[in-house]
Amino acid sequence: MTTLLSIEDLRVAVDIGGRAYDALDGVSLSLSEGEARGLVGESGSGKSLTLRAVMGLLPHGARITGGRILFEGQDLLANGGRLQRKVRGTGISMIFQEPAVALNPVMKVGEQIYDSAMRHRGLKKKEAREYAVHLMELVGITDPAARLNAYPFELSGGLRQRVMIAAGVACRPKLILCDEPTTALDVTVQEQILRLFAHLRDELGAGLLYVTHDLAVIAQLCDTLTVLYSGKVMESAHDRRSVFAAPHHPYTEALLAATPRIDGTVKRLLAIPGNAPSVMDRQPGCPFAPRCEYVTEECQAAPVSMSPVGDSWDVACVNPLSPAAESTEAAEGAR
């Protein structure tokens, strides 16, 4: 399949107290056309920062200090990010976590959907309104013609989320970046939104880079998986089912052990001891070493590079875990 997005050794620094610290430290991943890749990890691991770096929406005080971001083979960071600005909203779109923040509270939702279609696709207002109605139907909004004139505060959280998704796909992007878009929703609406993303992926043929801390969401929606911790990639594979069945990195194993299951024997959930280090407290070696039950002196001596452990499966661990005797079907119990 054609590679849509390729992030190579991406480094993002943040300025704190007059010093620069690496918030992303050599992140690399790729995404093919039509692929859905999950990006998981604890809060502060660098998931959302990775998406914002791709989108060119880094927060104040953060800047890219190294690496490349290739979209359809072209470097988005070249020429001062000119291409990145050009494809933002058209070739690449981002769905945020909280629609109340992303949507303009004093602008009708219909305008927020069709405005980009008018600017980027050259549609007249009447055509754009008809297109907005079509998009609202596509994302499951009932009576879309009437709701075109509603304001965000007049809609429920689930409907606002659907409006934000409709606005995000209005220009038919090839890549959709999803920053935990279902976190604030109840489980019924979350299920509907996840089904919607799967439908949009089939309908548009778009690639999805989906950030979440919920492994059950990954099991339902994504094909491939990248695990981040403390600004570094710990494990990355082109078959998330294999990772769920037998992770090779202790951090991935710990995340799975902390995930509720609905199959097999009921077991007590295991918390990961300690806390993830802040960007100011990172030590040499594997960043997970202080919390790892398998830690050795070698783990703490020097940075650990990614190494292959299988077909399109890499892990950053001195002593990767051996495959567990757990079936792929059982691992899917997290769903």
Confidence at 326, pLDDT banded by 50, 70, 90 = very low
**Separation of alpha carbons 270 and 291, rounded Å:** 13
| pTM higher than the cut 0.95 | no
**Separation of alpha carbons 300 and 259, rounded Å:** 27
The pLDDT of residue 267 is 66
Side-chain-side CA neighbours of 102 within 13 Å: the count stands at 22
Name 126's Cβ contacts closer than 8 Å, sequence gap at least 6. none
pLDDT in tens, 131-181: 999 989 888 888 999 999 999 999 988 899 889 988 988 888 999 999 988
Name 101's Cβ contacts closer than 8 Å, sequence gap at least 6. none
The pLDDT of residue 238 is 93
The pLDDT of residue 263 is 64
The token pair that represents 310 in the structure block: 């299988």
Confidence at 185, pLDDT banded by 50, 70, 90 = confident
The pLDDT of residue 333 is 47
Per-residue pLDDT averaged across 55-73, rounded? 95
Q: How many CB atoms lie within 10 A of CB 275?
A: 11
Q: Do the Cβ atoms of 109 and 163 come closer than 8 Å?
A: yes
**Separation of alpha carbons 140 and 159, rounded Å:** 9
pLDDT in tens, 250-270: 999 999 988 776 665 656 777
Beta bridge partners, 75, equal 70
| CATH homologous superfamily for the domain 3-91+173-334 | P-loop containing nucleotide triphosphate hydrolases (3.40.50.300)
Check residues 116 and 87 and name the one with the higher pLDDT.
Answer: 87
Average pLDDT score over the chain: 88
Check residues 52 and 265 and name the one with the higher pLDDT.
Answer: 52
The pLDDT of residue 262 is 63
The pLDDT of residue 252 is 95
13-231-318 Cα angle (round to 5)? 130
pLDDT in tens, 285-307: 999 999 999 999 999 988 899 99
Q: How many CB atoms lie within 10 A of CB 333?
A: 17
Residue 30 has phi, psi (to 5 degrees) of -140, 160
The pLDDT of residue 7 is 97
Per-residue pLDDT averaged across 226-240, rounded? 96
Confidence at 28, pLDDT banded by 50, 70, 90 = very high
Residue 328 has pLDDT above 80, yes or no: no
The H-assigned helical ranges of 139-270 are 144-147, 157-168, 187-204, 215-221, 240-245, 250-257
Residue 190 has pLDDT above 90, yes or no: no
Distance between start and end Cα atoms, the chain:
28
The pLDDT of residue 150 is 94
